[in-house]
């Protein structure tokens, strides 16, 4: 028996749990409140895509197929039933030997999704057998999904369910009418699992975390079932969807399904809801909608402050079926494969966004505007706790934009603790990401970053208030790429006042970034105006005319007209097709016109623009406060004598000799050597130990300079000059191999 049941309703991700319930459960642990959590989505998927599930589905929906593809799938139903359990086990990482059979052909039944294979051969040609088998198994599941959508439930999707009913639903009418219909086949599976869990745990309060529109319908269907069958249980909704869409909620019919809807950070609101359930007369709420005297009211009468990030505890993934998630490879996009392949522990470096100015973003809402970083040591403590709890050392930091300074401290802490972790996150392409910082991040286990290039136009980047330029983006992506960190760019088209010329020029910028090889992944998104962004709140300033609708339910995405009158929709196919090819290193020589079936203007961007951005001289000035860190090992040393002829005395020349030292370094890839005067080499060996990343003491550039000049005070002015030493060839070699300025 548990006080609370925390549920993520169908569907979000197949490969890893959405982290909201794990965050809340971790917090409740600190308060001694018992809770059970479940990812209802993965449980439904595993029941549906099983031998018993498919057998029931095909026998229940023994319909006359309406297309050749559906006829083919239906005729091969026994092959699907025979293979499904083995395929799911393989995608769960439990049956790796099946990869050979999948790749050898004539094992998986194939329908229309496999028609892509001719194109996929070059896109996935270099993949290993396990990944290729995952992709084929993914196509197999997508064929089954096509059958389900056409014959069983039109609302089905692996990462969303009935999304249309939740997207921009200003009125509750359509969703309400849908909930009056008989439960669908997917609903029946969902509700059967839910019933079993409620009977096992007997919670007093059920909390649904609804992150996306594609989770909304299922949350209402589940709440409806609980109201009908377990009327004593109280039901709450929180999460990303209500936080952004339900801030103007007025329709009291919503409360036929839910008792409470909370906004923004969930820790304190849920703690108070639990108190209200345990002690019904408490009447203290934090950012909570409820029904009082048949009217929707919003109560925020608690004087208590929200918890700081250091106080909310470590996410707790217990109860979730961590070994049953499914790794799929859907499309040939390197960054998207991180989303769908492998299981990641989710953490946040900082609450909110340290920049908080982008005009397309919901910067008026607390989840963006309230910025609060977590101390690096606490973060890495939580990483170690999660590794021990889950057995997984992969981390996805789900920040709006991870702060560079905190990323540096986290990387240092990871390395000092000798942790072996793999991690990735979202960033802003700002100049703080120097080549040295990128090397440090890579050393700590960072494998990828994603960031918003948005519209590759300096005018529009300024209008967006992005705080970066195209030149800066090019230099930062170069730094990440050269360190071995993959870079994904979020790209945007159709921003208010964007001209056709700017769209074409933006595509040319992107083409050059991929051709040079400093961008490895990207995705084009069409601009969407949201109610809580500066564009949505002040449309006149951005030249857009919003559609005005009465809001009684959801309000976020706003339909609008751009005063330029440009139809940006028509660019979608050409932008995405060109990007698909650029990501695979081909078609850079195509004229931009070749991607579009309508006339576009010639680009005004010089063909070497990005190259010229990268050729600009680096600022070699080092701040006195900069940290100097050595991430390499201790060298082997060997003394030798160097001689040269001195000044002439009469008919003979004097031979001048002095001792030198050769230092040999071994890193994981190669061996390199440098030679220095013996006394400077000895000083350097000692200094490298002092500034080693494993040393807890921090050494700044000014301290290093002072120590050098003190040590060699007796030498001539040029030989004790630290700048001459620092910019010498031996030190330049060390800079290439791990002597970092941070």
pLDDT digits (tens, 9 = 90+) for 570-595: 999 999 999 989 998 899 999 999 99
Per-residue confidence at 61, pLDDT binned at 50, 70, 90? Answer: confident
Task: Identify which of 626, 739, 735, 623 has the alpha carbon closest to the alpha carbon of residue 687.
Answer: 739
CA angle 246, 247, 251 (to 5 degrees): 60
Q: What distance in Å separates the CA atoms of residue 331 and residue 335, rounded to the nearest whole number? A: 10
Q: Which long-range contacts does 43-46 make (Cβ < 8 Å, 24+ apart)?
A: 43/193, 43/321, 44/10, 44/11, 44/186, 44/189, 44/190, 44/193, 45/10, 45/11, 45/14, 45/158, 45/326, 46/88, 46/321, 46/324
pLDDT of the residue at 127: 61
Per-residue confidence at 156, pLDDT binned at 50, 70, 90? Answer: very high
The pairing of beta strand 557-558 with beta strand 628-630:
unpaired
pLDDT of the residue at 551: 87
Evaluate if residue 422 carries a pLDDT over 60.
yes
Evaluate if residue 618 carries a pLDDT over 70.
no
Order of strands across the sheet with 671-677? 636-649, 652-666, 671-677
pLDDT of the residue at 130: 85
Evaluate if residue 444 carries a pLDDT over 70.
yes
Residues 362-375: pLDDT tens digits? Answer: 998 888 889 999 99
Q: What distance in Å separates the CA atoms of residue 93 and residue 589, rounded to the nearest whole number? A: 41
Which of 168-172, 213-217, 470-474, 670-674 comes out lowest in average pLDDT? 168-172
Residues β-bridged to residue 662: 638, 675
The SS3 assignment for 740 reads strand
Evaluate if residue 388 carries a pLDDT over 80.
yes
Q: CA 712, 718, 722, 727 torsion: positive or negative? A: negative
pLDDT of the residue at 332: 61
Per-residue confidence at 129, pLDDT binned at 50, 70, 90? Answer: confident
Evaluate if residue 328 carries a pLDDT over 60.
yes
Residues β-bridged to residue 629: 740
Quote the tokens at residue 375. Answer: 């101390």
User: Residues of the chain with pLDDT > 90: what percent?
Assistant: 75
- Say if residues 662 and 640 touch (Cβ distance below 8 Å): yes
Evaluate if residue 167 carries a pLDDT over 60.
yes
Establish how many alpha carbons lie within 13 A of residue 558's alpha carbon, considering only the half-sphere containing its beta carbon: 27
Residues 685-724: pLDDT tens digits? Answer: 999 999 999 887 889 999 999 999 898 887 777 777 888 8
Q: CA 195, 199, 205, 210 torsion: positive or negative? A: negative
pLDDT of the residue at 241: 94
Evaluate if residue 125 carries a pLDDT over 60.
no
Task: Identify which of 239, 248, 238, 245 has the alpha carbon closest to the alpha carbon of residue 168.
Answer: 245
- To the nearest 10 degrees (0 to 180), the angle between helices 20-30 and 267-278 is 60
CATH class, range 344-614: alpha beta
Helical segments of 10-128, H only? 20-30, 40-48, 51-60, 68-75, 77-91, 98-104, 117-123
The pairing of beta strand 486-493 with beta strand 521-526:
parallel
Q: Which of 130-140 are b and which e, b meaning 16 or more Cβ less than 10 Å from the residue's Cβ?
A: bbbbbbbbbbb
Sort 660 into a burial class: Cβ within 10 Å, 0-12 / 13-18 / 19+. middle
Average pLDDT of the residues in 421-445: 95
- Say if residues 419 and 384 touch (Cβ distance below 8 Å): yes
Residues β-bridged to residue 665: 672
What is the domain partition of the chain in residue ranges?
A: 4-311, 344-614, 628-741
Peptide bond into 89 cis (omega under 30): no
Per-residue confidence at 54, pLDDT binned at 50, 70, 90? Answer: very high
Q: CA 148, 150, 154, 159 torsion: positive or negative? A: positive
Evaluate if residue 397 carries a pLDDT over 70.
yes
Task: Identify which of 472, 482, 474, 475 has the alpha carbon closest to the alpha carbon of residue 441.
Answer: 482
- To the nearest 10 degrees (0 to 180), the angle between helices 77-91 and 51-60 is 150
Computed over every residue of the chain, the mean pLDDT equals 91
- Say if residues 289 and 257 touch (Cβ distance below 8 Å): no
Evaluate if residue 339 carries a pLDDT over 90.
no
Quote the tokens at residue 711. Answer: 């040590």
Q: Which long-range contacts does 289-294 make (Cβ < 8 Å, 24+ apart)?
A: 289/246, 289/249, 289/260, 289/261, 289/262, 289/263, 290/255, 290/259, 290/260, 290/261, 291/252, 291/255, 291/259, 294/252
Evaluate if residue 263 carries a pLDDT over 90.
yes
Q: CA 686, 689, 691, 697 torsion: positive or negative? A: negative
Quote the tokens at residue 667. Answer: 């890193």
pLDDT of the residue at 371: 92
**What is the DSSP secondary-structure string of 458-506?**
HHHHHHHT-S--HHHHHHHHHHHHHHT-EEEEEEEE--TT--HHHHHHH
The SS3 assignment for 528 reads coil
Q: What distance in Å separates the CA atoms of residue 410 and residue 449, rounded to the nearest whole number? A: 15
pTM above 0.85, yes or no: yes
Q: How far is CA 714 from CA 65, 718, 731, in A?
A: 93, 11, 22
Evaluate if residue 520 carries a pLDDT over 90.
yes
Quote the tokens at residue 449. Answer: 């970053």
Establish how many alpha carbons lie within 13 A of residue 599's alpha carbon, considering only the half-sphere containing its beta carbon: 1
pLDDT of the residue at 120: 56
Per-residue confidence at 63, pLDDT binned at 50, 70, 90? Answer: low
Which of 91-95, 154-158, 211-215, 341-345 comes out lowest in average pLDDT? 341-345
φ/ψ of residue 396, rounded to 5: -115, 110
Average pLDDT of the residues in 225-243: 97
Which of 5-14, 124-133, 419-428, 648-657 comes out lowest in average pLDDT? 648-657
Q: What distance in Å separates the CA atoms of residue 593 and residue 511, rounded to the nearest whole number? A: 13
Spell out the residues 6+ positions from residue 592 whose beta carbon is closer than 8 angstroms to its own: 504, 507, 508, 511, 578, 600, 602, 603
Quote the tokens at residue 496. Answer: 């208010």
Residue labelled with tokens 């294979």: 117
DSSP-derived letter for residue 288 is: E
pLDDT of the residue at 161: 83
- Say if residues 396 and 335 touch (Cβ distance below 8 Å): no
For 415, other C-beta atoms within 10 Å of its C-beta total 17
Q: How many residues does the chain have?
A: 742
Q: What distance in Å separates the CA atoms of residue 486 and residue 94, rounded to the nearest whole number? A: 28
Evaluate if residue 57 carries a pLDDT over 80.
yes
User: Residues of the chain with pLDDT > 70: what percent?
Assistant: 95
Sort 301 into a burial class: Cβ within 10 Å, 0-12 / 13-18 / 19+. exposed
Evaluate if residue 650 carries a pLDDT over 60.
no
Evaluate if residue 124 carries a pLDDT over 70.
no
Q: Name the CA dihedral angle for 528, 529, 533, 539, rounded to a multiple of 10 degrees.
A: 150
Residues 619-646: pLDDT tens digits? Answer: 668 899 999 999 999 999 999 988 877 6
């Amino acid at each position: 028996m548990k006080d609370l049941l925390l549920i993520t309703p169908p569907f979000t991700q197949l490969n890893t749990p959405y982290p909201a319930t794990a965050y809340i459960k971790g917090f409740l642990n600190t308060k001694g409140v018992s809770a059970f959590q479940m990812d209802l989505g993965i449980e439904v998927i595993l029941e549906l895509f099983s031998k018993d599930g498919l057998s029931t589905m095909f026998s229940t929906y023994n319909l006359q197929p309406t297309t050749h593809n559906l006829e083919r799938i239906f005729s091969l139903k026994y092959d699907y039933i025979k293979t499904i359990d083995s395929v799911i086990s393989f995608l769960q990482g439990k049956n790796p030997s099946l990869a050979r059979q999948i790749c050898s052909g004539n094992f998986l039944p194939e329908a229309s999704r496999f028609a892509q294979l001719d194109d996929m051969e070059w896109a996935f040609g270099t993949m290993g057998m396990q990944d290729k088998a995952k992709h084929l198994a993914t196509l197999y599941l997508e064929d089954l999904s096509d059958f389900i959508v056409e014959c069983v439930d039109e609302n089905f999707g692996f990462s969303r369910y009935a999304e249309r009913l939740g997207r921009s639903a200003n009125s509750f009418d359509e969703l309400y009418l849908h909930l009056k219909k008989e439960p669908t086949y997917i609903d029946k599976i969902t509700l059967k699992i839910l019933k079993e869990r409620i009977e096992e745990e007997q919670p007093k309060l059920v909390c649904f975390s609804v992150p996306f529109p594609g989770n909304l319908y299922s949350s209402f269907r589940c709440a409806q079932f609980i109201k009908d069958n377990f009327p004593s249980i109280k039901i709450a909704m929180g999460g990303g969807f209500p936080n952004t869409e339900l801030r103007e909620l007025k329709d009291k019919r919503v409360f036929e399904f839910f008792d409470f809807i909370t906004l923004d950070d969930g820790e304190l609101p849920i703690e108070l809801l639990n108190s209200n359930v345990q002690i019904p007369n408490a009447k203290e709420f934090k950012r909570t909608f409820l029904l009082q005297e048949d009217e929707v009211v919003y109560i925020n009468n608690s004087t208590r402050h929200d918890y700081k990030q250091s106080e909310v505890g470590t996410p707790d993934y217990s109860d979730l079926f961590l070994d049953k998630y499914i790794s799929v490879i859907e499309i040939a996009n390197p960054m998207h494969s991180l989303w769908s392949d492998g299981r990641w522990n989710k953490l946040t470096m900082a609450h909110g966004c340290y920049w908080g100015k982008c005009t397309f973003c919901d910067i008026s809402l607390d989840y963006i505007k309230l910025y609060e970083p977590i101390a690096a040591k606490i973060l890495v403590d939580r990483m170690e706790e999660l590794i021990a709890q889950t057995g997984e050392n992969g981390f996805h930091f789900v920040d709006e934009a991870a702060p560079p300074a905190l990323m540096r401290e986290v990387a240092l802490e990871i390395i000092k603790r000798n942790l072996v972790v793999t991690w990735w996150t979202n960033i802003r392409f700002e100049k703080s990401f120097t080549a040295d910082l990128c090397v440090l991040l890579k050393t700590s286990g960072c494998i990828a970053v994603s960031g918003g290039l948005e519209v590759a136009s300096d005018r529009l980047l300024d209008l967006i208030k992005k705080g970066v330029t195209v030149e800066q983006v090019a230099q930062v992506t170069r730094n990440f790429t050269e360190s071995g960190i993959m870079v994904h760019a979020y790209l945007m088209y159709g921003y208010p006042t964007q001209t056709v010329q700017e769209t074409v020029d933006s595509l040319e910028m992107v083409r050059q970034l991929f051709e040079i090889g400093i961008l490895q992944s990207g995705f084009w998104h069409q601009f969407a105006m949201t109610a809580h962004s500066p564009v949505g709140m002040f449309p006149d300033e951005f030249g857009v005319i919003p559609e005005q609708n009465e809001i009684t339910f959801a309000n976020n995405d706003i339909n609008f007209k751009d005063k330029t009158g440009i139809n940006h929709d028509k660019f979608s196919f050409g932008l995405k097709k060109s990007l698909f090819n650029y990501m695979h290193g081909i078609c850079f020589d195509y004229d931009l016109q070749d991607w579009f079936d309508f006339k576009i203007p010639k680009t005004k961007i010089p063909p070497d623009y990005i190259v010229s951005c990268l050729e600009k001289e680096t600022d070699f000035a080092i701040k006195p406060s900069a940290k100097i860190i050595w991430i390499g090992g201790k060298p082997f040393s060997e003394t030798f004598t160097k001689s040269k002829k001195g000044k002439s005395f009469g008919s003979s020349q004097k031979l001048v000799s002095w001792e030198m030292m050769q230092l040999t370094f071994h890193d994981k890839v190669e061996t390199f050597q440098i030679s220095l005067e013996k006394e400077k080499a000895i000083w350097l060996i000692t200094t490298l130990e002092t500034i080693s990343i494993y040393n807890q003491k921090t050494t700044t550039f000014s301290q290093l300079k002072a120590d050098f000049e003190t040590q060699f005070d007796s030498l001539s002015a040029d030989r004790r000059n630290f700048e001459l030493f620092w910019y010498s060839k031996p030190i330049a070699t060390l800079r290439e191999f791990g002597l970092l300025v941070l």
